[in-house]
């Protein structure tokens, strides 16, 4: 190691960072070398900052950068301290050499196409936890063919229309073509834009039978191209939007599963909701959006925290939808502490146990 040229040491460091999962590309490496050459390699702190500015691309990278830096260049002190700890966010990497796992090898597609509509009709009202493996495949295939529609909001721009108000600009322009002679009036109207949808999916133990299917529905919604964000909540908040954006549903679900550290863990819904509101919601993600909380409301923590956070969420969001898988079951009463605390701030309370319920959810979203 001691015989290596300086650029060898630096490039080795960049490689080590890449191995640690940072998105280090060749052009970043060359910028890094230039930057270190500019500040001089003898200045340890400056080398640290030059690397941090050229090789990191977000606060979530900084902690790993620090670790690799100490490992590579040795020593204790590292420039200054790093990110505020609450800012660590989910890392989602694409491991390209791993195929989509967790799926039977025989391709069900041909089979599915032949399945008559009646089979889907039967499936429609069955609880997804009671399905056989074949039925689950059919359910998955059906979900992948859904066409969700985004809720709409009024945009600021006005677009040409056949009704609405008179469009002075276009009317005058049309007159110019006729040397100022009055011609037909042009009209314009405010257009509509898709409203953002935020899905918060509970992945705690009590929800795990449903979480898979819910993530698949979320993937379908994201793939429709409408603006949306997906997070999983449990004991921690994880953003899985990036993983779910991939085209292939199984691949997307697999990567999302990898990104979630608290699968089938406990529930601290109030706290994670709070984390969502502070880190994402208030900065714009939840503002004016339709927020869907998918949870059974079994809160381990203090239910009053959940109530407070839900109130906050309701103030930020355009509509709050609560999806509870148990709601569709006979004899269900909303008496769990969490649900009781949250219900006053919920605009729509929907079921989430069957295909029919998901169709209803998409309908509620489209009209929200």
Partner 1 sequence: MLPTDQVTSAAGLAQTLASTGYLCDDALATIGFLALRLHRPLLLEGEPGTGKTALAEALALGLGIPLVRLQCYEGIDASQALYDWDFPRQILHLRAVESTARRGGQGSDVDLGQVEADLFTTRFLLARPVLRALQESPCVLLVDEVDRADDEFEAFLLEVLSTYQVSIPELGTVRAEQPPIVVLTSNRTREVHDALKRRCLYHWIEHPGLERELAIVRSRAPEVSEALGEQVVRLTQLLRTTTDLIKPPGVAETLDWARALHQLGTEVVDVETAARTLGVAVKYREDADRVRMMLDRILSR
Q: Which residues bind partner 1 (CB under 8 A)?
A: 23, 25, 27-28, 31, 34-35, 38-39, 45-46, 49-50, 52-54, 56-59, 62, 79-80, 83-84, 156-157, 176, 278, 282-285
Smallest gap from residue 80 Cβ to partner 1 (A):
6
Smallest gap from residue 294 Cβ to partner 1 (A):
23
Residue with smaller CB distance to partner 1, 236 or 282: 282
Residue with smaller CB distance to partner 1, 49 or 263: 49
> How many Cα atoms are found within 13 Å in the side-chain-facing hemisphere of 282?
9
Smallest gap from residue 88 Cβ to partner 1 (A):
13
**357 exposure class (CB count in 10 Å sphere: 0-12, 13-18, 19+):** buried
C-alpha 271/C-alpha 195 separation (Å) is: 26
Cα dihedral 201, 204, 208, 211, rounded to 10, equals 10
Residue with smaller CB distance to partner 1, 21 or 23: 23
- Quick count: other Cβ atoms within 10 Å of Cβ 314? 17
Residue with smaller CB distance to partner 1, 52 or 223: 52
Smallest gap from residue 284 Cβ to partner 1 (A):
3
Helices (H), the chain: 6-19, 26-39, 44-55, 59-73, 109-114, 117-123, 133-144, 168-177, 208-223, 241-244, 249-259, 269-276, 303-316, 337-342, 355-367
CA proximity to 366, closest of 217, 226, 232 = 226
Residue with smaller CB distance to partner 1, 84 or 182: 84
Smallest gap from residue 283 Cβ to partner 1 (A):
5
- Label residue 264 left, alpha or beta by phi (over 0 means left) and psi (-120 to 50 means alpha): left
Tokens of 227: 């603006």
Smallest gap from residue 319 Cβ to partner 1 (A):
20
At 9, give phi and psi (nearest 5°).
-65, -45
Residue with smaller CB distance to partner 1, 31 or 67: 31
């Amino acid at each position: 190691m001691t015989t290596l040229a300086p650029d060898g040491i630096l490039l080795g460091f960049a490689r080590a960072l890449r191995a640690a999962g940072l998105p280090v590309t060749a052009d970043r490496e060359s910028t890094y070398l230039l930057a270190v050459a500019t500040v001089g390699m003898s200045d340890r702190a400056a080398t640290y900052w030059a690397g941090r500015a050229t090789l990191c691309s977000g606060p979530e990278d900084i902690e790993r950068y620090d670790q690799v830096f100490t490992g590579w260049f040795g020593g204790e002190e590292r420039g200054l301290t790093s990110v505020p700890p609450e800012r660590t966010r989910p890392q989602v990497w694409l491991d390209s050499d791993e195929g989509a796992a967790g799926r039977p090898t025989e391709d069900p597609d041909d089979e599915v196409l032949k399945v008559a509509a009646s089979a889907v009709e039967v499936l429609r009202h069955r609880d997804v936890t009671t399905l056989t493996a074949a039925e689950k495949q059919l359910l998955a295939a059906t979900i992948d063919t859904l066409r969700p529609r985004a809720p709409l909001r009024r945009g600021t721009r006005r677009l040409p229309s056949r009704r609405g108000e008179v469009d002075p600009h276009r009317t005058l322009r049309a007159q110019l073509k006729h040397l100022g002679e009055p011609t037909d009036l042009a009209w314009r109207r405010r257009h509509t834009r898709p409203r953002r949808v935020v899905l918060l999916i509970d992945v705690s133990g009590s929800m795990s039978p449903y979480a898979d299917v819910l993530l698949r529905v979320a993937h379908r919604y994201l793939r429709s191209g409408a603006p949306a964000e997906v997070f999983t909540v449990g004991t921690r908040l994880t953003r899985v939007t990036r993983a779910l954006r991939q085209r292939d549903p199984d691949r997307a679900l697999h990567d999302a599963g990898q990104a979630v550290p608290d699968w089938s863990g406990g529930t601290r819904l109030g706290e994670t909701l709070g984390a969502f509101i502070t880190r994402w919601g208030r900065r714009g993600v939840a503002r004016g959006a339709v927020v869907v909380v998918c949870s059974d409301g079994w809160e381990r923590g203090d239910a009053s925290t959940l109530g407070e956070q839900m109130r906050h969420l309701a103030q930020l969001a355009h509509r709050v939808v609560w999806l509870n898988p148990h709601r569709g079951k006979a004899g269900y009463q909303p008496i769990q502490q969490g649900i009781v605390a949250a219900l006053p701030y919920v605009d729509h309370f929907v079921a989430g146990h069957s295909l029919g319920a998901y169709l209803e959810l998409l309908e509620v979203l489209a009209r929200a």
